Amino acid sequence: MSAEEKVKGPASYFPSIEKTYGQPIAHWMQVLADAGPLKHMERVSLLKSEHALGHGHANALVAWFKAQG
């Protein structure tokens, strides 16, 4: 990917998520994996209520998590 190409989709939130919450994306993927079998919005709610993430950041992480496997 060239320097001019912008990251799109959920990954475009990653730099802001890491800066805002002080954890790498791998940490959030592990939190979601450890949560067990939940629906999309249940995962979003978990990140918002237990980890104080904003809705957009939580939704981006869950979308990426689901896309990975």
1-48 tens-digit pLDDT = 455 578 889 999 999 999 999 999 999 999 999 999 999 999 999 999
60 compared with 7, residue with greater pLDDT: 60
pTM greater than 0.85 (yes/no) = yes
Measured CA to CA in angstroms, residue 62 lies from 2, 4, 5 at distances of: 27, 27, 24
Residue ranges of domains in the chain: 12-68
Give me the mean pLDDT over the 44-60 stretch: 98
Report the alpha-carbon distance of residue 26 to residue 30 in Å, rounded: 6
Return the pLDDT at 69: 82
Query: Which pLDDT does position 4 carry in this prediction?
Result: 58
